[in-house]
Structure 1
Amino acid sequence: MEPLSPQIKAEMDDAIKQELPADAKNVTTTSLGSLQNKDSRQVMDIVDRLRRSGLSGELQLPQLVVCGDQSSGKSSVLEAITEIPFPRKENLCTRFATEIILRRATSPSISTKIIPDKFRAATEKTRLEGFKASIVDFSELPNLIDEATKLMEAGRDEGSGQRAFFRDVLSIEIAGPGRPHLTLVDLPGLIHTDTQYQSKEDVELIHGLVQDYISEKRTIMLAVVSAKNDYANQVILKKCRDVDPKGLRTLGIITKPDYLEAGSAGEQAFIDLANNRDVTLSLGWHMLKNRSAKEINNTFGERNASEAAFLSKGSYRDLPADSLGIEALRTRLSHLLYKHLKTELPALQKELNEKLIEVTHGLELLGDKRSTPQEQRRFLMTVGTNYQDIVNAAVKGHYEDTFFGSLAPNESVDHEKNMRRLRAVVQYLNQQFAQVMREYGQASKITLKANFLRSLAFFDEEVPKPSTLDDGYAEFAQYQEEITCADAIQRVSSILVRSRGRELPCTFNPLLISQLFWEESRNWKLIAEYHIDRVAEICSAFVRTAIAFTVSPDVGDNLLSLKVDTALQTRLSAAKKELTNIINDTKRHPITYDPAYVDTVQQRRNDVYAARMKQLADEFETTSFTAREKGACLQSNVINADALKAALAERRNLDMEKASAEEALDDSLAYYEEEVKYFIAAVTKQVIERYLLTDLAADTISPIIVGEMSDDEVGFVAAEPEETTRQRQSLEARKATLEKGRQTFKSALGLMGRAGVR
């Protein structure tokens, strides 16, 4: 960056030290009664107390920000509002944000300090924070500002050259008996383009600085527009509209109307702007006439008289009186501030409480200080106990703890928020698994044809279905083949022929049932493994969430790497081994002692026999007529017995192989129906429940596990790193500030209530 020219630098230094108006000797100038009526004073007192309690670093406190383009008259507006004589000159610009804190006190005082930019180096922050000075009257203010500027300049990086602007903040607190509680911020003016002495980096810095301030939701913007330039070209209006489209917290200020030619189009344009006819703001516009270059040494009384005389003439007489002049502006600001602050206080209090809860929880996660092995082990014992309570509650389905929070009904069951309710998620996934097994577990799905004789209830029964299947479970539909009943019998017949033993005709080898069952259940392992992995993933994610809730990330990560990850993998391996045992059991010769199997087989055969008899009866049914009775001919349906007898004799000669195949198909389907129920129960109870849910807390983190850890392991997990110590100190400081702020809020609101402020 190019350094400021010696001429410009000398001009700036000279301007800072120039003669101030006569009012500068008096710290408590003209009473600012317009800014401190009873109600607004009570509300502003609360904000002042909160600011002094240190909350400005934690919360966005309400404040007034004076912003505008370079040389738009911002500092003059600030000076007129506060009646504090700031050193200024037409060609001198504000090089950093200046925070003006007015505070009521029994004795007058002026104190200053520098709030360093957060991106400054630590040593630079310390040096700038060391700047604290007090003065007795405003005549010393230029020297203070000059000293602060030089300190900021001294901190520039080597080789970066002279800085024109800074992100540091100069804070000036002015106390006195006649002061209202009020905070205003004067920002550097926006630069449209870089010059020889104001680089592109300076332009970006100022725009970023202004953007940061006006983006704060509790900031009221006094957008200053100079009548010397076309307001359409003054970028501050666009910036304010971007962050406050409806102008709910933007008050437009028009300055320098004395530069406009009376009766000109330019004057009319600014008259229209003041009437809120062009750039519309909910808070409207206000017009001021500040000191001209010739009036720079006038007192505030002379300044106000000059302004009143000017605005009472010409076209300005037609503007509303409450939008003209400094006195009207103070009254307007008083009402505006009162309404704004009163609206923001409940939200501010809520945000304060939320931050206090957040910081308190952060400290709870860090736990007590732990430097010795005994302290570290005791700390982990507490962690294990708290963790165990949460996990056991989740496994049992007791969701009273704050850990479980609120549900997310519009999200999936295993969504992060819902996943904390572990039992509910596992129950849901078990239902998905059971449904998939019933729907798609059988390798061949037998479908019926309308003209096919067999009408087995097994094929027709409707299995209850959930509303939907999750994508992962639904994909198993692709592993199922659809075949007709005739094709199924033909397939069984082919297998029967190739597995003949010494059994008699019209019977089948008992091993045929095993073969058919093995073929139909070949997808069971694939489905069960997917389900086990899915539940294991949920358990793992839940455990990590429970650890993150119970302990700080550094300790949690160490616990995961040292104990938890291994324990979870061991539990999953044991679950997979148990599944293998169950699958191996299905490979053995079919065994069942359930009477339901016999009933099912018998029922199927009865259904087949009944269906065949009904078909034959329908086929050989005839209509006969009897004698007239009372003049009517009686009709009845009868079965042709001879034809039926012949048909039955013919059917005795059916293919013995096909009859055996049908019997074998009935038996295998009945056995499958019983076994799939057993398999669903075995997987959900013996695998999911026994190996993935039971003792989940005891196997991952528990006081017993901590007690068995060596001192080295305890130290690895729980020893407090340096950054944790710093984090604890920061959190403790923040907690103290927030608690002080909450107490301030409580007492101030109590006083406000007793005073009858509504």
Structure 2
Amino acid sequence: MMDDATTPTTIDNESLNNSSLEALQNEDMRQIMDMVDKMRRNGLGGVLQLPQLVVCGDQSSGKSSVLEAITEIPFPRKENLCTRFATEIILRREKTTSISTRIIPDKGRPSNEQAKLQDFKKSISGFEELPALIEEATKLMGLEGSTSSTPRAFSRDVLSIEISGPGRSQLTLVDLPGLIHSENKSQSKEDVELIRSLVGEYIENKRTIILAVVSAKNDYANQIILKSARDVDEKGNRTLGIITKPDFLEPASENELSWIELAQNKDIFFELGWHMLKNRSPKEIDTSFQTRNASESMFFSKGRYRDIKKEDLGIDSLRVKLSALLYSHLKKELPSLQQELELKYSETVLNLERLGESRQERKQQKRYLTQASIQFTRIAEAAVDGHYEHKFFGHSNVSEAIHHVSNLKRLRAIVQHLNMQFSRQMGKFGAKYKIAAPDSAETGLLEDEVLDVKLDDAYSSAEDQQTHMKRSHAIKWVQNVLQRSRGRELPGNFNPLLISELFWEQSEHWEGMARDHIHRVALACERFVKALVNDLVSPDVAGRLLKLKVDDVLAARLRAAEDELDKIITDKGRHPITYNHYYTTTIQKLRNKKSMAKAKKLADQHTTDYYCDVGEARFDSVSGPTRVSALDPEAFMKNFEQEFIEQDMDKFSAEDALDCEMAYYKDELKYFVGVITKQVIERYLVHNLGEDTLSPLLIGEMTDDEIHFIAAEPGAVSNERRFLEDRKKTLEMGQKAFRGALEFMK
């Protein structure tokens, strides 16, 4: 595990109760670290990015010795053995002393290998047992020295060592394998990439404090860790540089001076600065930590090292520095950590709600479907009534059209919009022939009743089916039909069946428009239902429930709506019937409008302009004679009879029939739009959508086999539920730890 060659060191119980780390925390900080430690022990390290100290550097940089100096925990050393995996050191304060270890397997391993490594949980009574335990873990990971047929040099697994005791402080540090410069016979290219990737994953964590260790034995410009740290922490906000092995430098040399300037933060700048340590030399390897510290103090009291600030030298000042550093870092990270914790918890609870309760037994399956159906009926009823308070409806998307897929949950709003579009479509484009009013090629038949509102593309496409026709051409059309439907009526009259034929032809597009509209509303209802079902039950249940039950109900409702439309179209094909006075009123208005147009034309023809003389009453003293218009009554009356009396009996009958047909068309149009929206759309597609589609009664009528087929829980869903339930408990424990720490900090 260490970079230097020596033999394991045995420590006494006094070391287990070591209080040398007390400088790292005040009481406030202990509470914060205790909270983070509890979250880590509860498994939140795999869910959240928790604050931690990571000791990293190039291979043989002395980083493991730095970790040992900080924690004063002796790690075993062997000749030419470097760190082969990440080692997580967890120190925590407990009433009793204990040392326990476990392996956190790489998530990329097969599940059976992960299970085997997770079973590794050992407890030891003293550090003298640590070498054997680490060797056992190394073999279990399949590294060199194991019985594996293909032993590996490095592993992405993590060895976690948890050390508890009354004198321990709350602290977590991670020792990472050293970065490798290039491959060799014992370390392949894949090993080089694996270590760089592993170190990168740790130091990319925005809540990690990077302890970047560089050795004075090598040119720091060539040490990979500095570039790696600056890549992920460009400003050095969370990187502390640590210089080791300064005793290998030639005193008073230029090389020594360059390292001293680095320690003074004059070369490579880190906002957290630099610190210099002197590790134990090979001759001092068996000495105690107290001797190590005394030797270090003596070394830094001489030569150029006296130019470096005392707080940037030695292990004791490093602990003080880490104390302030950890405290400020954790305080800064607490709000974002709490926010991330709450977000993860909300996501987990939502996913659990979607899965629902366990569905292993028939009783559980039926209860699950029944509860879903109750919720479905209630929410669907709210949607039909236009009450959007339930969280299912969310916020409306005003940037998209009402009928856009993002607004599909607000069913009543969509149906109302489509109905209004249909009504306007029928008013503007329902007639096969758009006939201009008398003596006007611009005024449409129903313009006085149709608002000039832009229609959706689906509804405005009906304009392509409509033919524009002048009134004179319309009269000719009616004359042609009249001649082919003439019975025994006297000249100047028309067969009553003529109105039927004219109306049937003029309204022949109604059925297609109505059918298209019904399908659009049915599609809106279908999308709403599927969205609601998918929101209330898990995806696997939703698919089977829709296919087995819901799709058939929706199809049946659509068929019923189309059957009703067929009946309405059949009724429309019968002889015209109306008892609405609006019909006769419209006829009179049309005739009056026609007469007024003729009268105006005749009046214009017999009106002359002239100027008043001075002696006449109408005289403008300023501008002179006034121009006035006057109707010649004799000429007007002389031509009145000729203008208003039609000699062509067929044309007279055709005009009269056209007026009657237009009046009846307008009357019937209002009725048709009303029965389609009420009698078809509302009755068969919208009303009772929840009760008919997925009511508790429908669930109660299902057989046990149907219920099992729909609601039985696959193994993958059971596993997902267990995973989410475990994560929820873990997050709740994290919330509890957070609340406890925040309460103390108040």
State the distance in 2 between where 1:388 and 1:435 align. 32
Q: Is the 8 A contact 2:203 2:229 kept in 1?
A: yes
Quote the residue 1:596 is aligned against.
582
Quote the residue 2:745 is aligned against.
752
Quote the residue 2:622 is aligned against.
none
Quote the residue 1:149 is aligned against.
138
- The answer to whether structure 1 residue 620 and structure 2 residue 606 are counterparts is yes
Quote the residue 1:671 is aligned against.
664
What is the aligned counterpart of 2:175 among 180, 183, 186? Answer: 186
Quote the residue 1:291 is aligned against.
279
Deviations 1:381-416 (A, max 9, x none): 333223322222222223333333444443443556
- The answer to whether structure 1 residue 643 and structure 2 residue 635 are counterparts is yes
**Alpha-carbon distance, 1:617 to partner:** 1.8
- The answer to whether structure 1 residue 438 and structure 2 residue 424 are counterparts is no
Show the 5 A alignment for 1:15-414. 18-20=7-9, 26-29=15-18, 31-87=20-76, 92-153=81-142, 161-191=150-180, 193-225=182-214, 236=225, 240=229, 248-253=237-242, 255=244, 264=254, 268=258, 271=261, 275=265, 283-291=271-279, 294=282, 297=285, 299-301=288-290, 303-304=292-293, 325-370=314-359, 372-414=361-403
Show the 5 A alignment for 1:534-549. 534-549=520-535
Q: Is the 8 A contact 2:58 2:214 kept in 1?
A: yes
What is the aligned counterpart of 1:464 among 451, 457, 473? Answer: 451
State the distance in 1 between where 2:386 and 2:165 align. 62
**Alpha-carbon distance, 1:124 to partner:** 2.4
Q: 1:653 to 1:717 in 2, by over 3 A?
A: closer
Quote the residue 2:730 is aligned against.
737
State the distance in 1 between where 2:311 and 2:582 align. 93
Deviations 1:619-652 (A, max 9, x none): 3212454681589678753212233234434434
Quote the residue 1:712 is aligned against.
705
State the distance in 1 between where 2:256 and 2:595 align. 105
State the distance in 2 between where 1:436 and 1:155 align. 80
**Alpha-carbon distance, 1:171 to partner:** 0.1
Corresponding residue SS for 1:133: strand
Deviations 1:211-261 (A, max 9, x none): 433444433333445566666665555655665566554445455566677
Corresponding residue SS for 1:435: helix
State the distance in 1 between where 2:337 and 2:11 align. 41
Structure 1: any 5+ residue segments left out of the alignment?
Answer: 1-11, 754-758
Q: 1:227 to 1:589 in 2, by over 3 A?
A: farther
**Alpha-carbon distance, 1:533 to partner:** 2.6
Q: 1:424 to 1:337 in 2, by over 3 A?
A: farther
Number of aligned residue pairs: give it: 737
Quote the residue 1:606 is aligned against.
592
State the distance in 2 between where 1:34 and 1:120 align. 40
Quote the residue 1:687 is aligned against.
680
State the distance in 1 between where 2:157 and 2:523 align. 50
Q: Is the 8 A contact 1:365 1:551 kept in 2?
A: yes
Identity %: 52
**Alpha-carbon distance, 1:655 to partner:** 5.5
Structure 2 counterpart of 1:168, one-letter code: D
Structure 1 counterpart of 2:594, one-letter code: V
**Alpha-carbon distance, 1:183 to partner:** 1.5
**Alpha-carbon distance, 1:459 to partner:** 5.5
Q: 1:512 to 1:747 in 2, by over 3 A?
A: same
Structure 2 counterpart of 1:426, one-letter code: V
Q: Is the 8 A contact 1:441 1:524 kept in 2?
A: yes
**Alpha-carbon distance, 1:162 to partner:** 1.8
State the distance in 1 between where 2:594 and 2:160 align. 97
**Alpha-carbon distance, 1:717 to partner:** 2.6
State the distance in 2 between where 1:54 and 1:517 align. 77
Deviations 1:278-333 (A, max 9, x none): 6x66x443233342754661654555566666667787766666555544443343
Q: Is the 8 A contact 2:3 2:62 kept in 1?
A: no
Corresponding residue SS for 1:699: helix
Q: Is the 8 A contact 2:441 2:470 kept in 1?
A: no
Q: Is the 8 A contact 1:575 1:692 kept in 2?
A: yes
Q: 1:692 to 1:149 in 2, by over 3 A?
A: same
The farther-off stretch of 704-713 and 397-406 is 397-406
**Alpha-carbon distance, 1:614 to partner:** 2.0
Show the 5 A alignment for 1:501-512. 501-512=487-498
Structure 1 counterpart of 2:729, one-letter code: A
Q: 1:590 to 1:236 in 2, by over 3 A?
A: farther
Corresponding residue SS for 2:141: helix
Corresponding residue SS for 1:145: helix
Q: Is the 8 A contact 1:34 1:330 kept in 2?
A: yes
State the distance in 1 between where 2:600 and 2:214 align. 99
Q: Is the 8 A contact 2:9 2:76 kept in 1?
A: yes
Corresponding residue SS for 2:577: coil
State the distance in 1 between where 2:716 and 2:296 align. 58
Deviations 1:84-107 (A, max 9, x none): 333457954322221111112234
Structure 2: any 5+ residue segments left out of the alignment?
Answer: 620-624
Q: CA RMSD in A?
A: 4.1
Show the 5 A alignment for 1:491-530. 491-530=477-516
**Alpha-carbon distance, 1:656 to partner:** 5.3
TM-score (norm 1): 0.84
Deviations 1:710-752 (A, max 9, x none): 2222232334444444444444433433333333333333233
Deviations 1:42-84 (A, max 9, x none): 2112212222334334433322333444444433333333333
Q: 1:53 to 1:476 in 2, by over 3 A?
A: same
Q: Is the 8 A contact 2:249 2:255 kept in 1?
A: no
Q: 1:459 to 1:548 in 2, by over 3 A?
A: closer
Quote the residue 1:696 is aligned against.
689
State the distance in 2 between where 1:453 and 1:570 align. 48
Corresponding residue SS for 1:461: helix
Show the 5 A alignment for 1:560-579. 560-579=546-565
**Alpha-carbon distance, 1:496 to partner:** 4.7
State the distance in 2 between where 1:77 and 1:665 align. 103
State the distance in 2 between where 1:448 and 1:229 align. 99
Quote the residue 1:584 is aligned against.
570
Q: Is the 8 A contact 2:143 2:152 kept in 1?
A: no
The farther-off stretch of 519-528 and 143-152 is 519-528
Q: 1:415 to 1:613 in 2, by over 3 A?
A: closer
**Alpha-carbon distance, 1:173 to partner:** 0.9
Q: Is the 8 A contact 1:258 1:289 kept in 2?
A: no
Structure 2 counterpart of 1:706, one-letter code: I
